[in-house]
């Protein structure tokens, strides 16, 4: 609430007349007027807008961190009884890929390393990959992969020997 400030203003009529008083209304810092209230509302709106923007940026960041996503759904290693010419152990992994757009795919990776980062890869139909692998049979001529649907994939040893 504004407090009136009384101020004496001399008369312009020849100086003999008595001083007239005029009332001037001012706002003091401890009691803001309408302009101060508008500024305060604008500050709250800016803070709310900043909060919403922060939540949205966090959601976008978390989405980007989770996608694209790679998940190993199956692992198999050649038994020690199966000896390949280079005497290296070989591994098969089934990897499930999810892209940011929602696309899903499966890939088998066969190689010297137990991880899916390097080796001979074979794309697997999404319907087969989603059901998983039923069994793997390692032989010196290659590896046979059986799916629960009855489908089989045979990968000749020449395709994955030597770390390809």
Per-residue pLDDT at 147: 97
Contact 123, 133 (CB under 8 A): no
Per-residue pLDDT at 24: 67
Per-residue pLDDT at 53: 93
For the whole prediction, is pTM greater than 0.85? no
Tens digit of pLDDT per residue, the chain (164 long)? 555 555 555 555 555 555 566 666 666 566 555 555 555 566 888 888 999 999 999 988 887 777 778 899 999 999 999 989 988 999 999 999 988 778 899 999 999 988 888 899 999 999 999 999 999 999 999 999 999 999 999 999 999 997 65
């Amino acid at each position: 609430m504004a407090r009136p400030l009384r101020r004496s203003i001399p008369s312009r009529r020849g100086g003999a007349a008595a001083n007239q008083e005029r009332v001037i209304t001012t706002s003091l810092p401890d009691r803001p007027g309408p302009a101060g209230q508008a500024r305060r509302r604008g500050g709250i709106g800016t803070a709310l807008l900043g909060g919403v923007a922060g939540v949205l940026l966090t959601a976008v960041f978390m989405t980007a961190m989770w996608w694209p996503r790679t998940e190993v759904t199956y692992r198999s290693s050649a038994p020690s009884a199966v000896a390949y010419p280079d005497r290296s152990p070989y591994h098969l992994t089934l990897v499930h890929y999810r892209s940011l757009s929602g696309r899903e795919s499966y890939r088998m990776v066969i190689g010297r390393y137990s991880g899916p980062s390097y080796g001979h890869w074979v794309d697997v139909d999404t319907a087969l990959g989603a059901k998983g692998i039923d069994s793997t049979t390692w032989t010196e001529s290659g590896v046979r992969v059986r799916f629960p649907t009855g489908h089989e994939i045979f990968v000749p040893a020449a395709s994955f020997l030597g770390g390809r």
